[in-house]
């Protein structure tokens, strides 16, 4: 079945440590995205990538880093520089048809808790 997988579902990290969240898709989508959701708030864009080896900052990129070495994979690293890392992290992907119908499809999310 085609879809987006994120692992792990729950992640605990000690303050001051970097942690990497995995995102894999087998939908053959060109674009991939990382969002963060905090309680009572909408999703906020961290980074996105349109093509392998290229990515752009979203609205809240500070304290995060990404890589896109393969079309299927877009891992997110939450660094120790991120001041409030505890949140629900969502990965998404979309085709880039240029037709205006580029709906984003989401993975199940990773809940990160910093202790």
Partner 1 sequence: DQQVKQNSPSLSVQEGRISILNCDYTNSMFDYFLWYKKYPAEGPTFLISISSIKDKNEDGRFTVFLNKSAKHLSLHIVPSQPGDSAVYFCAAGVDYSGSARQLTFGSGTQLTVLP
Residues 43-82 that bind partner 1 (CB under 8 A): 43-45, 48-50, 58
Q: Give the strand pairing for 4-7 and 105-106.
A: unpaired
Asked whether 76 and 89 are in contact (CB, 8 A), the reply is yes
Neighbours of 101 (CB within 10 A): 8
- Calculate the alpha carbon distances from 79 to 8, 18, 86 in Å: 17, 4, 12
* Token duo for residue 45: 């864009």
Of 5 and 18, nearer to partner 1 (C-beta) is 5
Residues 83-112 that bind partner 1 (CB under 8 A): 88, 90, 92, 94, 96, 98, 100-109, 111
Our finding on whether 22 is near partner 1 (CB under 8 A) is no
Q: Please state the closest distance from residue 28 (CB atom) to partner 1, in A.
A: 15
**What are the residues binding partner 1 (CB under 8 A)?**
4, 6, 9, 30-31, 33, 35, 40-45, 48-50, 58, 88, 90, 92, 94, 96, 98, 100-109, 111
């Amino acid at each position: 079945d085609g879809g987006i997988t994120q692992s792990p579902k729950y992640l605990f990290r000690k303050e001051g440590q970097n942690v990497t969240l995995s995102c894999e898709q087998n939908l053959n989508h060109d674009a991939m995205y990382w969002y963060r959701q905090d309680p009572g708030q909408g999703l906020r864009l961290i980074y996105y990538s349109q093509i392998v080896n290229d990515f752009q900052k979203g609205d809240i990129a500070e304290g995060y880093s990404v890589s896109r070495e393969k079309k299927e994979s877009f891992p997110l690293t939450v660094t120790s520089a991120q001041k409030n890392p505890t949140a629900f992290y969502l990965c998404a992907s979309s085709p880039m048809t240029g037709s205006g119908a580029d709906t984003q499809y989401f993975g199940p999310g990773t809940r990160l808790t910093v202790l």
